[in-house]
Amino acid sequence: MRYGTALREAVATPRTTPLIGIYDMYSASIAAQHYNGFFVSGFGFAASHYGLPDIGYISWPDMVAFASRLRMAFPHHHMLVDIDDGYVDPEVACHVVRQLESIGASGVILEDQKRPRRCGHADGKLILPLEEYLEKLDLVLRSREDLLVVARTDATEEAEIERRAEALARTDADVILVDGVRSVEWIRRIRAVVGDKPLLFNQIAGGKSPRLSLSELSELGVDVAIYSTPCLFAAHGAIDGALIDLKMSDGRLPDSRETGAIGVKGSTELLEKNISRHHLGRQPDPESVPVPVSV
């Protein structure tokens, strides 16, 4: 299965391709009902698997294991994986890329931050010297076979943003991401700098970038939009609200038959779709789900 090719074909379409940030198997199960592409967000993964902020705690074997479970449950969805800085060492980055491609990831994002790293929309980011990052990126590109690679810069100074975006566009990376873009004007400037190279835009609630629709992003020439945290933040609010209600009702659960809320039946029906034997012979909807091309 050539998952990288399938994602490249989606990126090449005239409309902006959305990839939804998921943080665990349950959030992926819900997202799969609405979108045909996942983004395995570092922010969401650190929060859900470790209960920690996105500052470099993620262990690559944990990320590979999670991606493997995702692919088993969702054999027809795009899956772009955030590998941060490649877990510091270039050789580790290459090893992780090979591991992820072998289990069916569609693509990865490799950033130019150095430790201590931060969420791309946080203050205080530090970046590697450009040549050092380009060497790491080149090794990763030469390690992959079909995997789509997004080259990401976390530069914040205007001149450095343009310098790095231009340099990344000259590489064999498939897509370019400048994270934490602060305005529509800067999206236009980056689009002009990278030329014909596909461009990715990262939207995160409460982040530094403007809130834009897919139609607006398409008009700006953005090819891919990742939504890092809508599932995570929605769950935060919903869980908080449900527990406040439980306190207010003296511990009496609401009647899901009356409220229409999810109960055992609805949850089980959702999860049963992920059982691998149910995928045998099932043809994905060509209007909503990518069909990876066989080798």
Amino acid at 97: V
Is the model's pTM score more than 0.85?
yes
In which band, very low, low, confident or very high, does the pLDDT at 124 lie, cut at 50, 70 and 90?
Answer: low
Structure tokens given for 241: 């609200």
Q: How many Å apart are CA 84 and CA 108, to the nearest integer?
A: 9
pLDDT at 167: 97
* Per-residue pLDDT at 290 exceeds 60: no
| Predicted local distance difference test score (pLDDT) of residue 255 | 87
**Distance, CA of 190 to CA of 145 (rounded, Å):** 28
Share above pLDDT 70 across residues of the chain, in percent, rounded to a whole number:
93
| Residue ranges covered by each domain of the chain | 3-239+268-279
pLDDT tens-place string over residues 158-203: 999 999 999 999 999 999 999 888 899 999 999 999 999 999 999 9
According to DSSP H, which parts of the chain are helical? 3-11, 25-31, 42-45, 60-73, 90-103, 130-143, 158-169, 184-194, 214-219, 230-248, 256-259, 264-272
Binning pLDDT at 50, 70 and 90, where does residue 292 land? very low
**Pairing label, strands 148-153, 37-40:** unpaired
**How is domain 3-239+268-279 classified at the CATH fold level?**
TIM Barrel (3.20.20)
Taking 70 as the threshold, does the pLDDT of residue 51 lie above it? yes
What value, to the nearest 5°, has the Cα angle with vertex 192 and ends 151 and 207?
A: 55
Q: Is the pLDDT of residue 128 over 90?
A: yes
293 CB-near residues (< 8 Å, 6+ apart)? 1, 2, 5, 6
Q: Residue 282 has what pLDDT?
A: 58
CB 67 within 8 A of CB 40: yes
